[in-house]
């Protein structure tokens, strides 16, 4: 695992992606810092960070796009998969290297609140927590990007699909407000979600009984719940899918100074899920 981690990190800095990502993120944050904190005298660095979020959405796909797609195109994955090392370790090694790259600008960000403090009042706790959550959000995005990279052979497709998905997640609140709130539409939404899940299971396992079972049981339970207590479905979709607006946990800190601990748990579990899915996606390719 250490071997893969080291190689990945080195290759990230030998190619342009790593330095470009770090430089771009710091330059952008510097401009916001200048505008908000220095010129306007706003004492929270966290607010500045929320402006840099959009750079993450462009920058993270840049780091993650090569991770597995390039290995597959150059057939170097044959070397990794035939080496005496388990697949989860390969995936983790790569993921940790990306996390390290994301951590570099965040470590540098830690200087900014001190600059504010040297000029007057600073709110160090909020600022450092927001940097931590910002970093964690970057890790979530990286996990998603890595998963998408493992699905394709083309870096470009990996980049565009990751960028698109992250942009949708970024704009999720706006999209969500357009969803209907009635109980009936809630039921329809849940049925669609169950179908998508069943289709995914079928796609992964090609087991009709299992996926069909998930679909039928899921549909029966949700319809039964609808018949007995239809009020459960009211606004269910926006509540359920509202969780997907991942950046909300971060913006909650930056704009309201509220730290949502469940949100951090959500981040960690999403990371775990996507690392797991990446392993499964690679495993599946070996068997198909």
Number of residues that bind another protein (CB under 8 A): 25
The closest alpha carbon to 267, from 242, 249, 254, belongs to: 249
Q: Using the rule CB under 8 A, is 188 a contact of another protein?
A: no
Separation between Cα atoms, residue 179 and residue 213, nearest integer Å: 29
In terms of CB distance, is 20 or 83 closer to another protein? Answer: 83
On whether the CB atoms of residues 275 and 91 are closer than 8 A, the answer is yes
3-state secondary structure of 234: coil
Alpha-carbon torsion angle 163, 168, 173, 179, nearest 10 = 180
In terms of CB distance, is 84 or 120 closer to another protein? Answer: 84
Kindly state the smallest distance separating residue 162's Cβ from another protein, in Å. 22
Kindly state the smallest distance separating residue 288's Cβ from another protein, in Å. 8
In terms of CB distance, is 11 or 195 closer to another protein? Answer: 11
The closest alpha carbon to 95, from 288, 270, 287, belongs to: 270
Q: Using the rule CB under 8 A, is 14 a contact of another protein?
A: yes
Q: Using the rule CB under 8 A, is 6 a contact of another protein?
A: yes
The closest alpha carbon to 222, from 200, 198, 189, 197, belongs to: 189
Q: Using the rule CB under 8 A, is 85 a contact of another protein?
A: yes
Q: Using the rule CB under 8 A, is 205 a contact of another protein?
A: no
**Residues in contact with another protein by the rule CB under 8 A:** 2-4, 6-7, 10-11, 14-15, 74-86, 286-288
């Amino acid at each position: 695992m250490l071997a893969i981690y080291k190689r990945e990190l080195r290759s990230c800095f030998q190619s342009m992606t790593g330095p470009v990502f770090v430089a771009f993120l710091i330059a952008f944050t510097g401009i916001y810092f200048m505008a908000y904190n220095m010129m306007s005298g706003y004492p929270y660095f966290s607010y500045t960070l929320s402006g840099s979020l959009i750079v993450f959405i462009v920058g993270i796909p840049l780091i993650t796009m090569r991770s597995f797609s390039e290995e597959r195109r150059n057939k170097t994955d044959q070397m990794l998969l035939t080496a005496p090392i388990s697949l989860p370790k390969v995936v983790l090694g790569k993921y940790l290297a990306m996390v390290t790259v994301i951590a570099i600008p965040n470590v540098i960000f830690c200087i900014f609140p001190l600059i504010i403090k040297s000029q007057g009042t600073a709110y160090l706790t909020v600022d450092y927590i927001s940097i931590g959550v910002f970093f964690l959000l970057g890790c979530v995005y990286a996990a998603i990007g890595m998963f998408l990279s493992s699905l394709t052979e083309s870096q470009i497709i990996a980049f565009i699909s990751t960028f698109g998905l992250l942009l949708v997640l970024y704009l999720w609140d706006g999209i969500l407000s357009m969803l209907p709130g009635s109980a009936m539409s809630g039921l329809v939404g849940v049925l669609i979600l169950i179908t998508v899940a069943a289709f995914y299971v079928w796609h992964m396992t090609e087991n009709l009984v299992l996926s069909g079972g998930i679909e039928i049981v899921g549909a029966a339970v949700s319809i039964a719940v609808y018949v007995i207590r239809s009020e459960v479905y009211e606004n269910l979709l926006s509540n359920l899918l509202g969780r997907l607006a991942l950046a909300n946990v971060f913006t909650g800190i930056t704009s309201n100074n509220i730290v949502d601990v469940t949100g951090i748990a959500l981040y960690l579990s999403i990371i775990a899920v996507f690392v797991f899915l990446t392993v499964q996606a690679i495993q599946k390719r070996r068997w198909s």
